[in-house]
Amino acid sequence: MTLLELEDIEKAYENEEVLHGVSLGMEQGDVEVLVGPSGAGKSTLLRCVNRLTEIDAGTIRLAGESIHDLDSNDLRQRVGMVFQDFNLFAHRTARGNVTLGLEEVLGMDHDEAVERAEAHLDQVGLAEQADSYPAELSGGQQQRVGIARALAMDPELMLFDEPTSSLDPELIGDVLAVMNDLAAEGMTMLCVTHEMGFARSAADTLTMLDGGRIVERGPPERLFENPQHERTESFLGQFTDFE
């Protein structure tokens, strides 16, 4: 089943055009990695999917329904998002970060929300840290709380915007491990990340975005081994050199 469909998405900020007719489709269970240079419009594209940003033209469909026919808060329950800077609620414990949406958005009662939050914290390896506040956690732990917070809402689709870019190298592995598990469990994931190891091992599709246009899109091996565009080759080249 096609879970997410983007058709000719256009987006401009003030006078600056950021997305020029982007189209792509994701089947349920697909893992798609989105790469591209800074300013390519990757974050903008993700934010359009859960309507943190409104598109100017085009159509976005989630499970066949146009997202503009949905209430934006309902849409956001169905689409989880993980941020580069974690964006945890500073005044709430790890558990409290997860329960807020469960109680206030899903209307779950407190005990049920706590139980579910703890299950999801356990899933990301943070059962022990449930009572810690964000400022008491490492970046890698904070990001895993961020993932648990999104997962607990039981989303159909997860959006990741450079989830490891703010992390010290030694902490990246824990977060990628959680993402790999999720991919293996069949979660549909649209990820902006420059972790090419993850792209190779977990992604079904790799998409190269530049200047608000999809330059090339296909299975990761093909883009790595046999890119059709010089732009893709040079961009991916900077990463493969390191490996």
Ligand X SMILES: Nc1ncnc2c1ncn2[C@@H]1O[C@H](COP(=O)(O)OP(=O)(O)OP(=O)(O)O)[C@@H](O)[C@H]1O
Tell the smallest beta-carbon distance from residue 97 to ligand X (Å).
24
Q: Taking contact as CB under 8 A, which single stretch among the options 144-152, 179-187, 190-198, 229-237 is the one that binds other proteins?
A: 144-152
Nearer to ligand X, 43 or 50 (CB): 43
Nearer to Mg ion, 12 or 70 (CB): 12
Token pair recorded at residue 49: 């999917």
Nearer to ligand X, 19 or 114 (CB): 19
Token pair recorded at residue 144: 């895993």
With CB cut-offs between 5 and 8 Å by kind, which of Mg ion, ligand X, other proteins, none does residue 136 bind?
other proteins
Q: Point out which residues pair with 104 in neighbouring strands.
A: none
Site for other proteins in 215-234 (CB under 8 A): none
Q: Is 128 in the site for other proteins (CB under 8 A)?
A: no
With CB cut-offs between 5 and 8 Å by kind, which of Mg ion, other proteins, ligand X, none does residue 99 bind?
none
Site for ligand X in 123-152 (CB under 6 A): none
CA–CA distance, 146 with 241 (Å, rounded to integer):
31
Q: Is 43 in the site for ligand X (CB under 6 A)?
A: yes
Q: Taking contact as CB under 6 A, which single stretch among the options 38-46, 87-95, 112-120, 233-241 is the one that binds ligand X?
A: 38-46
Starting at the earlier edge strand, list the strands of the sheet with 57-62. Answer: 16-27, 2-13, 57-62, 65-66
Q: Is 44 in the site for ligand X (CB under 6 A)?
A: yes
Q: Taking contact as CB under 8 A, which single stretch among the options 7-15, 34-42, 84-92, 224-232 is the one that binds other proteins?
A: 84-92
Name the site residues for ligand X (rule: CB under 6 A).
13, 16, 18, 36, 38-44
Name the site residues for other proteins (rule: CB under 8 A).
50, 52, 73-74, 76-77, 80-81, 83, 85-91, 100-101, 104-105, 132-136, 146, 149-150, 153
